[in-house]
């Protein structure tokens, strides 16, 4: 069983998306363009309503999955499949865009603290033209493991005796939200072929056996491939652990569209412009 060590520590960069929502982006940047199968990771959060109130008005997607995890605040989702709902703290929205979806995500709050994450997962060519699917997961549906040392909320994958609600997925994703007490350890056996990373919300971790530079809040820690993950909290720390099986196909990006070729990106743009994009 090979020990997992740190490959690279990446500081999230300030960015904006939608109608000017301020966020921190760690995947989908010059330093971490694509960690197969993960295309993007954004942390959106502020106590200033001007940073988020304009939200994400209607916009299209094709060829990806978006996983939104809310920690504070509320957002209302609507899309071209007819799906609609308000995300509350602890809820997850897993959207498989397939051949095309148009959706909006707007604040269902006039002020207060907002904090959440959006992860983009690539889809293999054989699934990119599937009918879109919207999955809403309430906080009480997440698997939760708690003991004297830690709490692990499981969105996908399994930890100890609990499983996440997202199952039988083609990239076999693992998505944990971990709260680890000071000087305590988190250990996990990772599938050896998976790419994986840690995103620190707040705190300080020691990862693996080798010495490494300190990783602070809003740092993404890209991990080497291996199977034995061993983490110790230097102080109480809250982090995401995310892993997935690489797809290994070429990608072509065009804003909200991710396909395999440039021609498919042009086709997506044409479909959107001529009104046939989200016709099922």
Is residue 22 within 8 A of residue 46, CB to CB? The reply is yes
**pLDDT number for residue 280:** 61
| pLDDT tens figures, 2-22 | 999 999 999 999 888 876 788
Residue 1 lies in a domain: no
pLDDT value of position 85? 87
Rounded CA separation 185/171 (Å): 27
Give a yes or no: residue 121 inside a domain: yes
pLDDT value at position 112?
A: 82
| Torsions phi, psi for 49 (to 5 deg) | -60, -25
- Residue pair 122/36 in contact (Cβ under 8 Å)? The answer is yes
What is the count of structural domains for the chain? 1
Residue 224 lies in a domain: yes
Contacts of residues 164-167 at CB distance under 8 Å and 24 or more positions apart, as own/partner, are 165/92, 165/137, 165/141, 166/94, 166/135, 166/137
| 52: CATH | 2.60.120.10
> Could you give the CA distance from residue 134 to residue 117 in angstroms, rounded to a whole number?
17
pLDDT in tens, the chain (280 residues): 699 999 999 999 988 887 678 889 999 999 999 999 999 999 988 788 878 888 888 899 999 999 999 999 998 999 888 888 899 999 999 999 999 999 998 888 877 888 999 999 999 999 999 999 999 999 999 999 999 999 999 999 999 989 999 988 999 999 999 999 999 999 999 999 999 999 999 999 999 888 887 777 878 999 999 999 999 999 999 999 999 999 999 999 998 999 999 999 999 999 989 888 877 6
Residues 44 and 75 sit within 8 Å (Cβ to Cβ) = no
pLDDT of residue 159: 96
- Nearest CA to 267 out of 252, 246, 280 is that of 252
Domain-embedded: residue 279 = no
Whether 227 is in a domain gets the answer: yes
Q: Could you tell me the residue range of the domain that residue 19 belongs to?
A: 6-273
Determine, yes or no, domain membership for 278. Answer: no
């Amino acid at each position: 069983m090979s020990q997992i060590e740190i490959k690279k520590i990446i500081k999230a960069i300030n960015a904006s998306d939608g109608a000017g929502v301020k966020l921190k982006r760690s995947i989908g940047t010059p330093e971490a363009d694509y960690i197969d199968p993960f295309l993007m990771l954004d942390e959106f959060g502020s106590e200033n309503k001007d940073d988020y109130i304009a939200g994400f008005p209607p916009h299209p997607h094709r060829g990806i999955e978006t996983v939104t995890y809310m920690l504070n605040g509320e957002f209302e989702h609507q899309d071209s499949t007819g799906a609609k709902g308000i995300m509350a703290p602890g809820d997850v929205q897993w959207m498989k865009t397939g051949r095309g979806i148009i959706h909006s995500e707007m604040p269902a709050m006039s002020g207060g603290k907002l904090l959440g994450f959006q992860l983009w997962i690539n889809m293999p060519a054989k699934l990119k033209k599937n009918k879109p699917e919207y999955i809403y997961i309430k906080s009480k549906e997440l698997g939760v493991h708690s003991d004297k040392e830690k709490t692990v909320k499981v969105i996908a994958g399994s930890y100890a005796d609990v499983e996440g609600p997202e199952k039988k997925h083609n990239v076999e994703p693992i998505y944990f939200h971990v709260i680890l007490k000071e000087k305590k350890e988190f250990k996990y056996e990772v599938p050896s072929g998976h790419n994986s990373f840690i995103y620190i919300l707040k705190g300080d971790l020691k990862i693996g056996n080798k010495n490494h530079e300190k990783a602070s809040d809003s740092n993404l820690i890209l991990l080497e491939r291996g199977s034995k993950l061993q983490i110790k909290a230097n102080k109480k720390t809250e982090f995401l652990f995310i892993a997935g099986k690489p797809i290994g196909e070429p990608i072509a990006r065009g804003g909200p569209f991710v396909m395999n070729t440039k021609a498919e990106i042009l086709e997506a743009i044409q479909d959107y412009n001529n009104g046939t994009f989200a016709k099922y």
